[in-house]
Amino acid sequence: MGSEIQIRKEWFTIDSHGIEHTEKMEQAFRDVHGFGIDEYQNDTNKIVEVEQRRERDYQKGQLAAAKIERLVHRD
């Protein structure tokens, strides 16, 4: 079986104005990533780490969706 997933080649930009966020958003971000939004915004390594993790999660989701699609449409 060949891979049906295409690698995304999109760019992301870093907004120097910051992200408006609530305490709940901050806590959720911290729970998932282990650091807060302000730390994320001010550390390029953390930005890359988070975006790489998001890309891996996206690819896993695409693979799962493709698998489900194949199961639904098999004869």
What pLDDT, in 10s, does the model give residues 26-61? 999 999 999 999 899 899 999 999 999 999 999 999
**H helices within 1-75, ranges in order?**
23-33, 37-42, 44-72
Distance, in Å, from the CA atom of 53 to the CA atom of 49, rounded to the nearest integer, reads: 6
Whether the model pTM is above 0.75: no
Residue of 15, 12, 24, 23 whose CA lies nearest to 54: 12
* 24 or 75, which is more confident: 24
Determine, yes or no, domain membership for 22.
no
Count of C-beta atoms within a 10 Å radius of residue 38:
13
| Total count of domains within the chain | 1
- Within-domain flag for 71: yes
* Structural domain includes residue 63: yes
Task: Name the residue range of residue 73's domain.
Answer: 44-75
- Looking at residue 2, its pLDDT comes to 46
